Amino acid sequence: MKKREFLKYCSLLAGAMISGKSIAAIAEPVKTITPMKRKSTTMKLRFIPYELKLKHVFTLATSSRTTTPVVLTEIEYDGKKGFGEASMPPYLGESYDTATKFLSQVNLEQFKDPFLIEDIVAYLDGIQPGNYAAKASVDIALHDLVGKLIGKPWFRLWGLDPGKTPFTSFTIGIDTPEVVRQKVAEAEPYKILKVKLGLGNDREMIETIRSVSDKPICVDVNQGWKDRNYALEMANWLKENNVAFLEQPMPKTMIDDIAWLTENSPIPVVADEALQTIDDLLPMKGVYSAINIKLMKCGGMNAAYKMATLAREMGMKVMIGCMTETSCAISAAAQLSPLAHWADLDGNLLISNDCYEGVTVIDGRITLNERPGIGITEKIKMFRD
């Protein structure tokens, strides 16, 4: 218990490099004379807190902020390193504290090899309920590692066509008309704009964007509307304004109202807050017409792939979304994107201190690369050798 508390303290020191299993590394010098790398044949998990700096103040229906806390992870095995990330926007209930506490409990050394993904994911799920971002940070690092051991990116291992990635939307936050116009100009390379509504200035936001751009828009209300008649009236008005779909228009608890809206809306209604993990998926049928899958909600790539596949079999459309994240988690999500009808993978584009390079957006479209694993390289070395 004492050891765990000390670990927690260490992990909160910005930039400190710690091991989930041993604190010995912290006392070691950064450089050693031995040029040979010691190859570990057990999996070693390390993690480190990192604060993402947002280019713009980020305003949702319920909060606004200028930073996002993330925890970066690394799993080393047999001379290869896989990278992962937990992004923890405060409204989702995870934090440096909870993630560090969770990751300190993870013992990957008990698994013979990283290929046992199903067992490892089941083990993570069993440690503690919730903590989906923390779980995703291990799941992503594990997938990155396995892809590197195999020498293939995950979209290849899933048999997906890199030519079938969707356009990604670019989020225009709620702001003054002047700032909104400036952001729309900034979003020039993107083919679809995403707008957060639900703060009372719904029509004004859309009209401001429409005064400078006729690009398709997708709308995320983040549960902001409380009246189904207003929601349907808006859905009809949004359709006239070339809005492609409507995400989480009302509180997730208003199931009957949402099902009624979905039945009557001229544009698809997408579940976001209503859907956390794969266990929530089956009841979505008939209530929403599409789901928004996010690695940080569902626990990682393993669950996200299953959710996308299952939702498609259920006849629902699939959106792949994100939090504010580095190119690590964004590139991980992008591996799935050929399975998605829409992508909202702009989280890395909204920050100024991305420490990874990964998938890119070319002509508004997610563009995968052939790097193994999740397809990233380090821009800034976050974990020492």
Alpha helices in the chain (DSSP H): 2-12, 24-27, 96-104, 117-127, 132-150, 154-157, 177-186, 202-210, 228-240, 255-264, 295-298, 301-313, 327-334
The reply to whether 86 sits near a second copy by the rule CB under 8 A is no
Q: How many CA atoms lie within 13 A of 185 on its CB side?
A: 6
Integer angstrom CA distances of residue 220 from 52, 170, 199, 271, 350:
23, 12, 11, 10, 17
Binding letters toward a second copy, positions 304-333, x by CB under 8 A? --x--xx--xx-------------------
Q: How far is the CB of 300 from a second copy (least distance, A)?
A: 12
- What is the closest distance, in whole angstroms, from the C-beta atom of residue 349 to a second copy in the complex? 28
Residue 6 or 158: the one with the smaller Cβ distance to a second copy is: 158
Which residues make Cβ contacts (< 8 Å) with residue 27, sequence separation at least 6? none
Closer to a second copy by CB, 161 or 378: give it.
161
Instruction: Identify the residue among 48, 160, 192, 238 touching a second copy (CB under 8 A).
Output: 160
Output the smallest distance, CB 120 to a second copy, in A. 8
Q: Which is nearer to a second copy, 4 or 164 (CB)?
A: 164
Q: Are 47 and 105 in contact (CB under 8 A)?
A: no
Query: Which residues neighbour 76 within 8 Å (Cβ) at sequence distance 6 or greater?
Result: 40, 43, 44, 46, 82, 145
Query: Cα(188)–Cα(153) distance, rounded to whole angstroms?
Result: 29
Pairing of strands 317-321, 290-294: parallel
- Side chain identity at 227, as an amino acid letter? D
Whole-angstrom distance, CA of residue 378 vs CA of residue 138: 18
Which residue, 146 or 184, has its beta carbon nearer to a second copy?
A: 146
Q: Which is nearer to a second copy, 79 or 90 (CB)?
A: 79
Interface with a second copy (CB under 8 A), residue total 28
Span from 76-84, 88-96, 128-136, 274-282 in contact with a second copy (CB under 8 A): 274-282
Q: Which stretch binds a second copy (CB under 8 A): 83-91, 95-103, 278-286, 344-352?
A: 278-286
Residue choice 159, 240, 352, 381 for contact with a second copy (CB under 8 A): 159
Measured from the CB atom, is 145 or 174 closer to a second copy? 145
Integer-rounded Cα Rg, in Å, for the chain is 21
* Closer residue to a second copy (CB): 232 or 275: 275
Rule CB under 8 A: is residue 161 a binding residue for a second copy? Answer: yes
Residue 329 tokens read as 């988690």
What's the rounded Cα separation, in Å, for the pair 347 and 87?
10
In this structure, are residues 329 and 300 in contact, taking their beta carbons and an 8 Å threshold? no
Binding mask 111-150 toward a second copy (x if CB under 8 A, else -) reads ----xxxxx-x------------------------x---x
Measured from the CB atom, the residue of 119 and 256 that comes closer to a second copy is 119
Taking CB under 8 A as the binding criterion, the range among 6-14, 190-198, 219-227, 303-311 that sits at the site for a second copy is: 303-311
Q: Which residue has the tokens 């902020």?
A: 65
Can you say how many angstroms the Cα of residue 325 is from the centroid of all Cα atoms in its chain?
Answer: 7
- In the complex, the smallest distance separating the C-beta of residue 359 from a second copy, rounded to whole angstroms, is 17
What is the token pair recorded at 128?
A: 């503690």
The residue within the footprint of a second copy, chosen from 52, 281, 318, 366 (CB under 8 A), is 281
Nearest residue (CB) to a second copy, 238 versus 308:
308
Name the residues that contact a second copy, by CB under 8 A. Answer: 115-119, 121, 146, 150-152, 156-161, 164, 278-279, 281-282, 302, 306, 309-310, 313-314, 338
